[in-house]
Structure 1
């Protein structure tokens, strides 16, 4: 199997594109995911990943690049959620549920209007093996931009994530960094469509970051480990999917989930091994 996979990488351009794209998405998803879970915004990632569906459908109807429509609707969803939460007695999770379900329903209707149902199916569930050169380069460009912004504003994102009240006291524009993170999350969600689709994007955003959290004592270490785990899960998932002719997107997500399951029991933070040792001693 390994030999067949390596031969495929040498001979098939589509597999080369799939490998490069999946590794890049694994790194950037793992990176942005750390800030998402530290802010308790896992549901926001899920909401935005579903909210981009109408934008994708409209892009196909208008015959423009789906990145444009997806990003616009992702940003619109994040603005609506934040506005509802900030200007009413409704809690954040309720605002997220109302917004993402409405956008998802709109997307389903627009799918019926659009003619490119096959392409939209790939957007829903991912088709990394069908990535074209232009999509690969767009993914790389967007990911480089996202990572560059994170590096540039790392200190501000760190402080606003851990203690927004102190950040306000220091004169930081907390709301600005919130929307900046929403923009980055939207960009990552759109790029991740190619590999895992809108249905499974949240898994790539959350699972590597959650796994890294179990072994990390600082945000910088968590980001590095999460990016590595995201890339590793993408590589292993692609290998399994290609070798056994099964859905690559699902293979990537399940591989990442397996990493988390193993880490859950081995992590020093969970103390399972210490408890087992004490039981054996007694």
Structure 2
């Protein structure tokens, strides 16, 4: 096969475009999730959108509306339980997101749907249409613009919430704004990579960038670059090895993380030697 073969098929071009569009907001959000220790929150919201998707199908609404509503409901419920109980937040998230995911599976089995569950769980990147492209593009622009405006406030909140409150920042608004951005990004990822693999897009790029630099500004750019490069290369390579694009991207991100970890470990040993 020639190297340019994937670009001759419209479905491959769409897959390449939507994967890179998704990578930009996911890469930016990933940095804050890593710094705040919110990796499980991204996982929770990713899994919790399933009942919202099923309910949206029953009501004849766009999947994105149901997914966003379910994601915010999960985040709100987790926050309320966390504030009103002695149970730690990670435990609460584990219970809530697994419960909502189970609810979604039960709901799905009780309705007759033309939507295959595999496409919801693992995405259907090669079957995206114009509406999916527009949805992902608009969400990518919105989330990227919000982070570009508020990234310093979000950074201060991530490191020292008390200091952020003392400086007059609306910490609660920033908190729920971050959750809304995560939910929107999961909505964008729903059609492309599915619920299960969305967490990789929300965590891996930031984790890789965190290992490569100590400057947050550089970390943001590196995370976006890693996410976009892994997305593009993963879709491109999947054409030649006849594999699904989303798992190929995630596998590539995992290999990149291992390489970054090995590099960081070697540098640390040289410094201490």
TM interval, short-chain normalised: over 0.9
* Count of residues in Structure 1 that have an aligned counterpart in Structure 2: 273
Whether the 8 Å contact between 1:61 and 1:115 is mirrored in structure 2 is no
Equivalent of residue 106 in structure 1, options 97, 103, 107: 103
Alignment map for 1:112-191 (pairs within 5 Å): 112-116=109-113, 118-191=115-188
Equivalent of residue 79 in structure 1, options 57, 76, 80: 76
2:5 is matched with which residue? Answer: 7
Equivalent of residue 275 in structure 1, options 264, 269, 272: 269
CA RMSD after TM alignment: 1.7
Rounded Cα–Cα distance in structure 2 between residues aligned with 1:78 and 1:223: 24
Q: Normalization by structure 2: what TM-score?
A: 0.95
CA-CA distance at 1:163 after TM superposition: 0.9
Structure 2, gaps ≥5 residues long: none
SS at match of 2:116: helix
Structure 1, gaps ≥5 residues long: none
SS at match of 1:156: helix
Pick which of 51-60 and 117-126 moved more: 117-126
Whether the 8 Å contact between 2:6 and 2:239 is mirrored in structure 1 is no
CA-CA distance at 1:7 after TM superposition: 2.8
Alignment map for 1:245-256 (pairs within 5 Å): 245-256=242-253
Distance 1:238 1:62, change over 3 A: same
Rounded Cα–Cα distance in structure 2 between residues aligned with 1:8 and 1:249: 16
SS at match of 1:214: helix
Distance 1:117 1:93, change over 3 A: farther
Equivalent of residue 218 in structure 2, options 213, 218, 221: 221
